[in-house]
Amino acid sequence: MHVEFLGIPRERAGVSDLEIDASTLGELFRELSRRYPAFGDLITPAGLHRSLAANLNGDAFVSDVSMTLRDHDRVLILSADAGG
């Protein structure tokens, strides 16, 4: 799947986007935390820190770590207050 970072998450990860394999949102967060330790500081056992948000395919904000992801999904991770 394609993952894109905006704002603080982009600064912490040090990349703007990447392709990654993950079957659930929680697995995605764990892999991001492993690859980008500075970004991992923004991940809790329950998911993203409350200052961040994740959007799936431009359709909905998601937070359920058990949510199933598909290969063609696009996840955008941004500051929760982005855009106003």
Q: Tell me, what CATH number does 30's domain have?
A: 3.10.20.30
CB 30 within 8 A of CB 24: no
Question: Has this prediction a pTM greater than 0.75?
Answer: yes
Q: Which residue has the tokens 């999904």?
A: 73
**Predicted local confidence at residue 83, as pLDDT:** 52
Q: Which domain holds residue 50?
A: 2-79
The alpha helices in the chain, defined as continuous H runs, are: 8-13, 25-35, 37-40
Cα–Cα distance measured from residue 55 to residue 2, given in angstroms and rounded to the nearest whole number: 12
Does residue 68 form part of some domain? yes
Does residue 47 form part of some domain? yes
Domains of the chain: total:
1
Tokens standing for 27?
Answer: 């697995």
**Predicted local confidence at residue 82, as pLDDT:** 54
Q: Which whole number is the average pLDDT over 20-33?
A: 96
Does residue 84 form part of some domain? no
CA nearest neighbour of 62 among 35, 36, 29: 29
Does residue 49 form part of some domain? yes
